[in-house]
Amino acid sequence: MLHITERMVTLAKLGGKHKFAADIGTDHGYLAMHLVQSGLAEHVYAIDNKEGPASKARKNIAEENMSQHITCIVADGFDGLRNVENDKLPGAVFIAGIGGMVTADIVSRGIDVVSKIDRLVLQPANREDATREFLYNQGMAILEEKVIEDAGRYFVVFVVDPKGKREYPKGQFDMLYGEYIPKAQDDITIKYLERKLHFVKEALKELEISKGTGEIVAQMEAHKAWLENHLAH
């Protein structure tokens, strides 16, 4: 049975409508299937770097009678798109549920293909700051950052125009929170920032117990003050 979460629905909408799309790290293939089912893509390349998940996706896709609309590919990231003809390249590529550092590495190693894509939708499983830092350093145009909640966990989604270029401030908190999240006033973003503040306060308690160095304590205090200031507005 096809199991679509609100997270997948949100990701799909953020990607927009395209004739072709790709889901890198497809795992069970559910996002790829939802893109087709919702009419947001006519054909999806479901890519995974392991045969096990690719086989599982293939089976799930066949059970939903979508094999003619989804091509399962075993490949490492954007390698799965290198042999695709230009007129069949995806308009949107999704990379969801993979660590932030690995997400940045996948995009970096596929930069020649990425430069031909209209939109990237990146949802790191953790270390979203590493993904953001990579995008900042590349100068790729981030169109939107959105905090989403799934099963009690909070994730940041980046909607990126790889062909667009811009410059970003690169201070510590710019890297940690970007430009969109501090301005957002929705409940989920506020809860995300409140959780971050909770973790910072707990870290400060631990540093006090372990007599952490003054420099580290000062950085954490600055982090705490920054979060409290943004939550107060």
Task: Look up tokens 């799930």; give the residue.
Answer: 60
Tell me: pLDDT of 1 over 60: no
| pLDDT (0 to 100) of residue 151 | 86
pLDDT, position 94: 98
Alpha-carbon distances of 152 from 7, 41, 147, 197, rounded to whole Å = 12, 29, 12, 16
- d(C-alpha 7, C-alpha 31), whole Å: 10
Whether the predicted pLDDT of 214 surpasses 80: no
Q: Nearest CA to 33 among 17, 25, 45, 19?
A: 45
The CATH code belonging to domain 6-168 is 3.40.50.150
Q: Are 139 and 114 in contact (CB under 8 A)?
A: no
Distances (CA, A) of 126 to 9, 155, 176: 20, 7, 12
* pLDDT score for 232: 82
Average of pLDDT values for 110-137?
Answer: 96
For residue 206, what pLDDT band results from cuts at 50, 70 and 90?
confident
> Tens digits of per-residue pLDDT, 51-84?
998 999 999 999 999 999 999 999 999 999 999 9
* pLDDT score for 211: 66
Written in H, E and C, the secondary structure of the chain is CCCCCHHHHHHHHHHCCEEEEEEECCCCCHHHHHHHHCCCEEEEEEEECCHHHHHHHHHHHHHCCCCCCEEEEECCHHHHHCCCCHHHCCCEEEEECCCHHHHHHHHHHCHHHHCCCCEEEEECCCCHHHHHHHHHHHCEEEEEEEEEEECCEEEEEEEEEEEEECCCCCCHHHHHHCCCHHHCCCHHHHHHHHHHHHHHHHHHHHHHHHCCCHHHHHHHHHHHHHHHHHHHC
Is residue 213 scored above 80 in pLDDT? Answer: no
> Average per-residue pLDDT in the chain?
93
By CB neighbour count within 10 A (0-12 exposed, 13-18 middle, 19+ buried), where does 233 fall? exposed
**pLDDT for residue 142:** 97
pLDDT(218) > 80 = yes
What's the average model confidence in pLDDT over 202-209? 83
pTM for this predicted structure: 0.94
Window from 11-20, 60-69, 108-117, 224-233 with minimum mean pLDDT: 224-233
Q: Where are the domains of the chain?
A: 6-168, 187-232
- pLDDT category at 15 given cuts 50, 70, 90 is very high
pLDDT tens digit sequence for 86-96 = 999 999 999 99
pLDDT at 13: 97
